[in-house]
Amino acid sequence: MSQNTNTWGQPVGFALPDWQSRPRPEFIPFTGDYCFLEPLSAERHGRELYAAYALAEDGRDWTYMFAQPFNDEAAYLAYARQIENGHDPMHFAVIDKESRRAVGTLALMRIEPTHGVMEIGHVAFSPLLKQTRMATEAHYLLMRYAFEQLGYRRYEWKCDSCNQPSRNAALRLGFQLEGIFRQAIVYKGRSRDTCWFSIIDSEWPQVKLGFERWLSADNFDAGGRQRYRLEALRQG
């Protein structure tokens, strides 16, 4: 895109004369081929989520989360009640379409309708959800909602720079690393450098194509193993 200049010859960003503030996301359900997303409810989903998280061998999945590991169901239910009605972050439960059980959560957050920007965060996937078609589809459903239904321009992912699995996941899903904000946050008694990633609206068509190719039943063999990686299907 060519560089614009103002009346004084200074370089400025490209004009958006028709831009208007975008709608805020709503607490609505989303349906995919492999999973549902529903607004998080402690009453409906809490016990299933705690049981799913309890399948992990230890508490390492919570190291880079703001929440702590939960020692018992009551502790998780209290946490779920605290976050279920928030409008930023907006937490959604991921429901396995076959078992109809909640297996993880994720949230839309740092929502800026004026600028058309939001972030995906608080991604808490249980062992029943990690590295499954459901996990990828859950991200696809919210990303499609942001770009196509709400008309947002930018979709962000941020994580602790020490969290290599999260960094890898962002790149796999089509986000681009923009940089590292040093000493950005203090949490859990330690300093955090934060990696910033994004997808912008002009990139969405290619990112969407990769998702749809990867999620297609034809991309999986009889044993459920992927034939092609998401990154490869996003190219060309």
The reported pLDDT for the residue numbered 174 is: 98
Two structure tokens written together for 85: 């009605």
> What domain count does the chain have?
1
Cα(50)–Cα(31) distance, integer angstroms: 23
Cα(157)–Cα(171) distance, integer angstroms: 10
Spatial contact of 179 and 161, defined as CB atoms under 8 Å apart: no
What pLDDT, in 10s, does the model give residues 106-120? 999 999 999 999 999
**Residue 105 clears pLDDT 80, i.e. is over it:** yes
Spatial contact of 25 and 16, defined as CB atoms under 8 Å apart: no
13 is a domain residue = no
* 236 class by beta-carbon count within 10 Å (0-12 exposed, 13-18 middle, 19+ buried): exposed
185 is a domain residue = yes
- Per the structure, the complete domain to which residue 37 belongs is given by 22-233
4 is a domain residue = no
* Predicted confidence band of residue 236 (pLDDT cuts 50, 70, 90): low
Spatial contact of 155 and 147, defined as CB atoms under 8 Å apart: yes
7 is a domain residue = no
What pLDDT, in 10s, does the model give residues 150-174? 999 999 999 999 999 999 999 999 9
205 Cα distance to chain centroid: 18
What pLDDT, in 10s, does the model give residues 44-93? 999 999 999 999 999 999 999 999 999 999 999 999 999 998 999 999 99
* Predicted confidence band of residue 2 (pLDDT cuts 50, 70, 90): low
Query: 236 versus 32: which is more confidently predicted?
Result: 32
The model carries a pTM of: 0.96
